[in-house]
Chains A and B, each alone.
Chain A
Amino acid sequence: MRKTFLICVAVIFSAGIFAPLGSLFLRITPEGFVQVINSPQFSSAVWNTISTGLIATIISLTLALAAAWTLERTAIKHKNFFVIIFGVPMLIPSISHSFGLVALFGANGWLTNIFQWNFNIYGAAGIIAGSIMYAFPVAFFIFMSVLQCEDGSPYLAAEVLGVPKIRQFLDLTLPYLKRTIISTFFAIFSMIATDYGVPLMIGGKTITLSVLMYNKAVAMMDYNSGSVIGAFLIIPAVIAFLADILNPAQKQNDFAKNISVDDKYSSRAGFIFCLSLSALIVAPILTFCVMIFAAKYPADMSFTLYHVMRTIHRGALDNWLNSLIIAFISAGVGTIFSFALAYFSTRTEGFAARIIHLLSIFPMTIPGIALGLGYVIFFHDLPIYGTLIILAAVNVMHFFSSPYLMMRNTLEKISSNVEAVGKVLGIPRRFIIRDIILPKVRFTLYEMFAYFFVNAMMTISAVSYLAPPAPKPIALMITQFEAQRLIESAAVVSIAILLTNLALKIFFTMLNRKTPASQ
Chain B
Amino acid sequence: MDIQLKLEVKEISKAYGNNEVLRRVNFAVLDGEFFSILGSSGCGKTTLLQILIGLLVADAGKIFKDGADITTLEPARRGMGIVFQNYALFDNMTVFKNVSYALQFHSVDNEAAIKKAAQMLDIVGLKNFSAKMPAELSGGQQQRVAIARALALEPDIILFDEPLSALDASTRLDIRRELKNIQRTLGTTMIYVTHDQEEAFALSDKIMILNRGVVSQIGSPEEIISAPANDYVKTFVLDNLQTKIDSLRRFLT
Contact = CB atoms under 8 A, between A and B. Distances in A.
A418 interface: yes
A7 interface: no
A148 B91 CA distance: 24
Contact of B102 (A426, A517, A518, A519): A426
A54 B91 CA distance: 47
Contacts of B91: 440, 518
A426 B92 contact: no
B103 to A, nearest CB: 9
B88 A420 contact: yes
B83 to A, nearest CB: 9
A170 interface: no
Contacts of B102: 425-427
Interface in A412-447: 415, 417-418, 420-421, 423-428, 431, 435-436, 439-440
Contacts of A420: 50, 53, 55, 75, 82, 84, 88
B82 A440 contact: no
Contacts of A518: 91-94, 133
Interface in B65-107: 74-77, 80-82, 84, 86, 88, 90-94, 101-102, 105-106
Interface string B97-123: 000011001100000000000000000
B241 to A, nearest CB: 28
B75 A424 contact: yes
A179 to B, nearest CB: 28
B53 A424 contact: yes
Interface residues of B, number: 26
A146 to B, nearest CB: 26
Contacts of A415: 84, 86, 88
Contacts of B86: 415, 417
B54 interface: yes
A96 to B, nearest CB: 40
Given A415-B88, A421-B88, A428 B105 contact: yes
Nearest to A425: B102
Interface in A84-141: none
Nearest to A516: B92
B43 interface: no
Contact of A423 (B54, B93, B101): B54
B149 interface: yes
A435 B98 CA distance: 11
A421 B82 CA distance: 7
Contact of A435 (B77, B101, B106): B101
Given A423-B74, A436-B92, 16 more contacts: A415-B86, A417-B84, A420-B53, A420-B82, A421-B84, A421-B149, A424-B81, A425-B105, A425-B149, A426-B76, A426-B153, A427-B101, A427-B102, A435-B90, A436-B93, A518-B93
Lowest 8 CB-CB distances: which A-B pairs, in order? A426-B76, A417-B88, A425-B102, A439-B92, A423-B75, A424-B75, A417-B84, A421-B88
Interface of B: 50, 53-55, 74-77, 80-82, 84, 86, 88, 90-94, 101-102, 105-106, 133, 149, 153
Interface of A: 415, 417-418, 420-421, 423-428, 431, 435-436, 439-440, 517-519
